[in-house]
Amino acid sequence: MAKYIYQYKSWPNFTWNEKEIQVILGKLRYLQGKIFGQINALGFSIKEETMLSTLTLDVVKSSEIEGQILNYEQVRSSIARKLGIEYAGMVYPDRNVEGVVEMLLDATQNYEQPLTEERLFAWHGALFPTGRSGLYKIDVACYRKGEMQIVSGAMGKEKIHYQAVPADQVKFEMDRFLDWFNKYTDIDPVIKSAIAHFWFIIIHPFDDGNGRIARAISDLLLARSDNSSLRFYSLSNQMLLEKKVYYDTLQKVQYNDADITEWIVWFLNCLYRALKNSEKTIEKVLHKADFWDKHKNTELNSRQRLMLNKLLDGFEGKLKTSKWAKITKCSQDTALRDIKDLIEKGILRQEKSGGRSTNYGLNN
């Protein structure tokens, strides 16, 4: 039977092909610097907006990888409130959202702080405020006490994908991991981010939430690599887009004897694609800033401002009078007046399908 990477004598002295990795790292570092330069040239409010959009995406998508769907508006409101950013239409988030947000903000805003057992336990406690994962009671804010298998398939036909480090070795393995994390500084933080992600997942120290915490650890090290708490790209979003390859690569490399080249190469390429995608986010934020600059003297009521911001942020589905009324808590007649006013001002247009399904869109 094949051995897991942690069962070899070489564990955890990982090796990789330096030559292969340096080619990708150089390309990635260049793009990182280029985008960071673009961000720093932007005004303060646009920087804030970019960061708010990126962090929201990161929280929502990291949870989605684990099959947990969070409300986008709740996440955005929670982040905005915690960072002291004001925007129209804030909603009050539930405590599950608050916990995930607290973890990511601690990782990215306090990236210079050491990673300790106490800090990891606080993150885990924030992720599971009720002490349950779904219907199941789990051990919270402490390392797991039981064995951990990653299994799929129907009962009686289960397939074991991974058997994690035995429970009685978790504390020893985590002490070793944290010692390396905090003391081993002569390695590029982007490569360190890839290694830390893999190493943590292999130990699988908690009953649940290991994937989300591993991604928060990666984000912490990426903030160190930028030497900034300003986030402008989402690794979690990209990992969700490439979820199958993400899991396949982890599964394949978990059987190697120390060599994790394939994992690091995939991680760096995934991060490169995340950076490429962030250019689109920046374009969206710039478009929003241009829009409000163009309409700074246009008379608009608070309902119109709220809905226009939602449309500029990427409103899901079709905008109809009924949705406008529901979101802004007004009557359908008032909603229709608001919309007609914006059509007259050249801001909105009526889409082609008429009748009962009349919907509206922004004029570009």
pLDDT for residue 355? 60
pLDDT for residue 89? 67
Is 70 exceeded by the pLDDT of residue 145? yes
What tokens does 244 get? 């199958």
Which residues fall within 8 angstroms of residue 231, CB to CB, at 6 or more apart? Answer: 51, 54, 55, 58, 108, 219, 223
Cα atoms in the 13 Å half-sphere on the side-chain side of 15? 6
Q: What is the rounded average pLDDT of the residues 208-227?
A: 96
Tokens 């393995």 locate to: 173
User: Where does the pLDDT of residue 169 fall: very low under 50, low under 70, confident under 90, or very high at 90 and above?
Assistant: very high
pLDDT for residue 345? 95
Supply φ then ψ for residue 346, to 5 degrees.
Answer: 80, 15
Nearest-angstrom CA–CA distance, 222 and 251: 23
Structural domains of the chain, with CATH: 5-283 (1.10.3290.10), 295-362 (1.10.10.10)
Phi-psi group of 84: left, alpha or beta (phi > 0 → left; psi -120 to 50 → alpha; rest → beta): left
pLDDT for residue 88? 61
Q: What is the rounded average pLDDT of the residues 75-100?
A: 86
Which residues fall within 8 angstroms of residue 349, CB to CB, at 6 or more apart? Answer: 343, 360, 361, 362, 363
User: Where does the pLDDT of residue 285 fall: very low under 50, low under 70, confident under 90, or very high at 90 and above?
Assistant: confident
pLDDT for residue 1? 67
Mean pLDDT of the chain: 92
The model's pTM:
0.83
Q: What is the rounded average pLDDT of the residues 249-268?
A: 97
Is 90 exceeded by the pLDDT of residue 22? yes
Of 174-178, 208-212, 349-353, where does mean pLDDT reach its minimum? 349-353
Which residues fall within 8 angstroms of residue 60, CB to CB, at 6 or more apart? Answer: 70, 72, 75
Q: What is the rounded average pLDDT of the residues 227-237?
A: 92
Is 70 exceeded by the pLDDT of residue 282? yes
Of 131-140, 150-159, 276-285, where does mean pLDDT reach its minimum? 150-159
Q: What percent of the chain has pLDDT over 90?
A: 74
Q: What is the rounded average pLDDT of the residues 101-116?
A: 97
Q: What is the rounded average pLDDT of the residues 161-184?
A: 96
Nearest-angstrom CA–CA distance, 334 and 326: 11
